[in-house]
Chains A and B, each alone.
Chain A
Amino acid sequence: MIDGLEVIWRNLPFLMIQGFLGFGKFVGGTVRLAIPAIILGFLLGIFIGLGRLAPQRWIRIPATLYVELFRGVPLVMVIFWIWIVVPIVLQRAIPEFWVALSAFVIFEAAYLGEIVRAGVQSVARGQVEAATAVGLTSTQTMRYVVLPQALKNMIPSLVTQFIVLFKDTSLASIIGFMDLTKAAQVVNNREVRPFALYLFIAVVYWICTYSMSRYARHVEQRLSPA
């Protein structure tokens, strides 16, 4: 136990700075991958979610197919598709960071799109009618009336999905991206202290996700009418 802690202490800079934050010799970092993945995934998710509600059939059907396809397939599969097939099509190698980032954005947008859709549908119909009645166009109605209210309703499930995404970034280690999980594997290959190392990164992940979920609960309580 004691030498397990000693191994962690000795490799702490590598695990945290390289693996967790992503500054170092290797391209990696859990945080460096998670933050753009969350932002871009959410932006794409808004389009997918609104696409599923579009009155035009040629938008609605592709958006629905998109959601059904990616929700029925494991994330690992999506990562392998991008990792293996895109280089065949483009005829050049893609760095792991971009493979992982695009896989997460494409995959999570399907789930986030469903949350956006549910959020938009939770806004009372009268709001849309009132906005139309005062002369806003449908884009303006969406932008200034529906989305701000929908966003408020979505926050709890959005944060839950962001937590899922944060945990899913560990899958980037499968294709060799040097995130926290991969860093622990690398250290373990040298030091052979699997029990201590994996428990340590479990705690690091846990601290991040648990504080995210606590924050979500806090926001939820503040927004809900008492």
Chain B
Amino acid sequence: MNYTFKWSVLWTGESGQWLLSGLITTLELSALVWLLAVALGIVSGVLRTVKFRPLRALATFYVEFFRNVPLLVWMFFWYCAVPPVLPELIRECMLGHGVEFWCAVLALGVYSGARFSEVLRSGIQSIPKTQLEAAVASGLTTFQSYRYVILPVALRIIIPPGTSESLNLLKNSSLALTISVAELTFQTRQIETYTAKAIEALAAGTLIYLALCIGIASLMSWVERRTAIPGLITSGARRRR
């Protein structure tokens, strides 16, 4: 192997700027996707546990279809399917991002939403049925029962699996490079192409992802300890490792 390391390529020239803008795009993409995915996940996760059959079937179809097809296929699908039907009005207010960014948000959001939905469903199903019955018996509507009784508990139960799902989402956002969203992996490749210093560029990208994942995981285990319901949820920090 005759390869001369030159780590300075990472901060000389435009590389540092590329890495930073890639990191920001990754974070922006992941944050938007997370909001969309959690919203979709809560709605469809709840619908999968309600009694009304057509709604349940609809939610099941959404989850089973979107979760079981590779994300990459969804990326290409939304990238090819969305732009032609996009109204001119929306084109003008895309907050400084290209259309591919919003396609990635949709693709990743709808895919991750289906995955979050499964997490939430198992959380809801782990709550004793009597809780819902008691809520209904005390005069709450179904919506109120979910809003005030079931979801506050379920959302806390699912913090550990929800965290690992959120980290999956962050890592999956790297697939946006296939539809040329300039996120972290894309920028890593760009540095590699321009400077021909592959190992340095990939190491930088890898370390940033690692730092993000470890950071978020420790933040969430703190959140989990803070929101634990005494007596109901055994200390998750112990369960995780």
Residues of A within 8 A of B (CB): 68-69, 71-77, 80-81, 84-85, 88-91, 163, 167-171, 173-174, 181, 184-185, 188, 194-195, 198-199, 201-202, 205-206, 209-210, 213
Contacts of B175 in A (CB 8 A): 74, 76, 171
Q: Is there an interface contact between B80 and A209, defined as CB atoms closer than 8 Å?
A: no
CB A170 to nearest CB in B, in angstroms, measures 4
Q: Is there an interface contact between B174 and A74, defined as CB atoms closer than 8 Å?
A: yes
Interface of B, secondary structure class, is helix
- Does B35 sit at the interface, judged by CB under 8 A? no
- B57-105: which residues lie under 8 A (CB-CB) from chain A? 64-65, 68-74, 76-77, 80-81
- Does B199 sit at the interface, judged by CB under 8 A? yes
- Per-position binary interface string of chain B over residues 5-32, scored 1 when its CB falls under 8 Å from any chain A CB and 0 otherwise: 0000000000000000000000000000
Interface of A, secondary structure class, is helix
Q: Given the known A-B contacts A84-B192, A194-B80, are A77 and B209 also in contact in the complex, defined by CB atoms under 8 Å?
A: yes
Q: Is there an interface contact between B68 and A205, defined as CB atoms closer than 8 Å?
A: yes
- Does B160 sit at the interface, judged by CB under 8 A? no
Contacts of B52 in A (CB 8 A): none
Q: Is there an interface contact between B209 and A74, defined as CB atoms closer than 8 Å?
A: yes
- Chain B, residue nearest A212 (CB): B68
- Per-position binary interface string of chain B over residues 132-145, scored 1 when its CB falls under 8 Å from any chain A CB and 0 otherwise: 00000000000000
- B155-181: which residues lie under 8 A (CB-CB) from chain A? 167, 171-172, 174-175, 177-178
Contacts of B214 in A (CB 8 A): 68, 72
Contacts of A75 in B (CB 8 A): 171
Contacts of B3 in A (CB 8 A): 88-89
CB B116 to nearest CB in A, in angstroms, measures 15
CB A80 to nearest CB in B, in angstroms, measures 6
CB A183 to nearest CB in B, in angstroms, measures 12
Q: Is there an interface contact between B172 and A198, defined as CB atoms closer than 8 Å?
A: no
Q: Which of B69, B171, B185, B189 contacts A202 (CB 8 A)?
A: B69
Contacts of A173 in B (CB 8 A): 72
What CA separation (Å) do A168 and B70 show in the bound complex? 7
Q: Given the known A-B contacts A72-B213, A194-B80, A199-B77, are A77 and B202 also in contact in the complex, defined by CB atoms under 8 Å?
A: yes
Subset of 21 A-B contacts with CB under 8 Å? A71-B213, A72-B213, A73-B171, A74-B185, A76-B177, A77-B174, A77-B188, A77-B206, A80-B185, A84-B192, A89-B3, A167-B68, A167-B69, A167-B71, A171-B72, A174-B178, A194-B77, A195-B80, A198-B81, A202-B73, A205-B70
Q: Is there an interface contact between A69 and B210, defined as CB atoms closer than 8 Å?
A: yes
Q: Is there an interface contact between A194 and B81, defined as CB atoms closer than 8 Å?
A: yes
The 9 closest A-B pairs by CB, nearest first: A194-B80, A170-B70, A72-B213, A74-B174, A74-B171, A198-B77, A209-B68, A167-B70, A170-B72
